[in-house]
Amino acid sequence: MVFGLIWKRFSSILVIMLQSQLFTKTRREAPKDEESVNAQLLIRAGFIDKTMAGVYSFLPLGLRVLRKIENIIREEMEAVGGQEILMPALQPKANWEKTGRWGKMEDLFRFTSYYTKTDYALGPTHEEIVSPLLKKFIFSYKDLPVYVFQIQDKFRDEARAKSGLLRGREFVMKDLYSFHKDEKDLGKYYETVKTAYFKVFERLGFGNLTYLTFASGGTFSKYSHEFQTLSDAGEDTIYICDKCRVAVNKEIIKEQKVCPECGSENLKEEKAIEVGNIFKLNTKYSEPFDLKYRDEDGEEKEIYMGCYGIGPNRLMGTAVEVSHDDKGIIWPESISPFKIHLLNLGKDAEKEKCDQLYYNLQKIGMDVLYDDRIEAGPGEKLVDSDLMGIPWRLIISEKTQDKIEVKRRGEKEIKLASEKELAKILQ
Ligand code: ATP
Ligand code: MG
């Protein structure tokens, strides 16, 4: 068992972490039909590939980033009591008719089975599935509250899909749904999730650029909230109050021109990306699906619901939009495909040293991509490394002798360190 694990780990290291073995290649030019910076850089660096507008494949390096983002979200959702499930993307028409959204939702993908002539939807969101699902498990006040979430592919017939990973027609969403005995309990949990969302954005490296934004709550509550990250690539316009670090979106500014927290009229217009959205649904979906429970006195009551969305693909695109330069991506360590990019810029003698360092770094638990390619020259390796954007670049060459050159992506300073010093710097 132990041997099996070690062997598996070792073999996966050999396959994945050596750049000579990586099947993807970097590209000097982005595809002509790709307008967004995030998709251009991610395609050039070999992280993703475009199948058609709004639909992408994730390649080994890109998938590592996506999985890291998903895991950060997963940890924060579990920390607030979320239980992970996985619901289907393929959904029956009847559920969508029940809520009246079959005919109303413009971006719902609908299609008919060739064999049975039955109509289906490809899920753009999951209230229509999660509400009848939880109805099978909630009977009394003792069964509440419940929090379930999934990290799953969504499909939306987006009119415009020109922003790379920011707006896909197929994309990953983490959607959390909460079920409560009353409005007060929902309100309390809603605040807990708000805090959890900010932890996610902090860990992804753009907490300082992200604002809680007041949006319309629809017919069921006064406000909903968005999380908006400042970026010129954003499709949204928000109005920020720097004193409270909150913002209002366009729908709200038309009704009220003041900060909802402090009443200040001093709001600044900014471009932003909506990275998350939370909503008090109250009884909007429990009504059509007859979602009820018995309270302490045996009385039947309606269940209150909340929903909380966040898009890992969009977060990955956002990370690139807010952190890159003219050479390429600059990943924050938390979601970089690897912590370290080790380059051998020398010849045979250096290769031996570099192999040993690669081995030693792995032994102390470091996540390393090793550019061991023989056919690529030093210039090419340096350009590729900047494009890929891994935070720590280590170089061994004829010039470095018994030291290692250390540089952080996005910084100018270059240091020479012994292996011992290096271990300290990296820890
Ligand atoms: P938008 O206004 O940008 O279309 P939305 O209000 O439709 O977003 P929600 O339905 O609240 O978005 O979805 C929750 C989260 O899922 C969003 O905050 C975003 O992070 C992500 N998301 C939504 N649509 C897309 C998409 N087309 N591509 C990638 N991520 C998306
Ligand atoms: Mg939308």
Pairing of strands 246-249, 236-241: antiparallel
3-state secondary structure of 272: strand
Q: Closest ligand 1 atom to the C-alpha of 226?
A: 18
Could you tell me the pLDDT band of residue 370, with boundaries at 50, 70 and 90?
very high
Average pLDDT value for residue range 134-163? 97
Could you give phi then psi for residue 36, rounded to 5 degrees? Answer: -80, 145
Report the mean per-residue pLDDT for the chain. 94
Q: Enter the tokens of residue 365.
A: 């638990």
Percent pLDDT > 70 in the chain is 96
**CA–centroid distance, residue 211 to ligand 1 (Å):** 16
- Report pLDDT for 242: 87
Q: Are 333 and 361 in contact (CB under 8 A)?
A: no
DSSP string computed for 60-120: HHHHHHHHHHHHHHHHHHHHTT-EE----SEEEHHHHHHTT-TTT-TT-EEEE-TTT--EE
- Per-residue pLDDT tens digits for 92-130: 999 999 999 999 999 999 999 999 999 999 999 999 999
Residue nearest to atom 22 of ligand 1 (CA): 311
Residue nearest to atom 24 of ligand 1 (CA): 167
Could you tell me the pLDDT band of residue 16, with boundaries at 50, 70 and 90?
low
Judge if the beta carbon of residue 213 lies within 6 A of ligand 1.
no
Evaluate whether 3-17+338-426 and 37-325 have a shared fold. Answer: no
pLDDT at 2 over 60: no
Judge if the beta carbon of residue 353 lies within 6 A of ligand 1.
no
In angstroms, what CA-CA distances link 158 with 53, 161, 216? 10, 6, 21
Q: Are 391 and 368 in contact (CB under 8 A)?
A: no
Closest CA to 124 of 105, 99, 151: 105
Q: Enter the tokens of residue 25.
A: 């290649």
**CA–centroid distance, residue 157 to ligand 2 (Å):** 9
Cβ of 386: how many Cβ atoms within 10 Å? 20
Q: Enter the tokens of residue 254.
A: 């038309």
Average pLDDT value for residue range 345-374? 94
CA distance 154 to 151: 9
CA distance 258 to 376: 58
Average pLDDT value for residue range 389-398? 97
Judge if the beta carbon of residue 282 lies within 6 A of ligand 1.
no
Residue nearest to atom 12 of ligand 1 (CA): 277
The CATH number of 37-325 is 3.30.930.10
Q: Among the bound ligands, name the one nearest to the CA of residue 107.
A: 2
pLDDT at 296 over 50: yes
**Superfamily (CATH H level) for 3-17+338-426:** Anticodon-binding domain (3.40.50.800)
Q: What sign results for the dihedral spanned by CA atoms 399, 403, 408, 409?
A: positive
pLDDT at 30 over 50: yes
**CA–centroid distance, residue 70 to ligand 1 (Å):** 16
Q: Are 333 and 188 in contact (CB under 8 A)?
A: no
Contacts of residue 10, defined as CB under 8 A and 6 or more positions apart, other chains included, come to none
pLDDT at 6 over 50: no
Domain limits, the chain: 3-17+338-426, 37-325
- Report pLDDT for 73: 98
CA distance 129 to 288: 12
**CA–centroid distance, residue 361 to ligand 2 (Å):** 44
**CA–centroid distance, residue 370 to ligand 1 (Å):** 36
Which runs of consecutive H residues, i.e. helices, occur in 323-377? 348-363
- Taking phi first (over 0 means left), then psi (-120 to 50 degrees means alpha), and beta for anything else, what does residue 99 get? alpha
Judge if the beta carbon of residue 38 lies within 6 A of ligand 1.
no
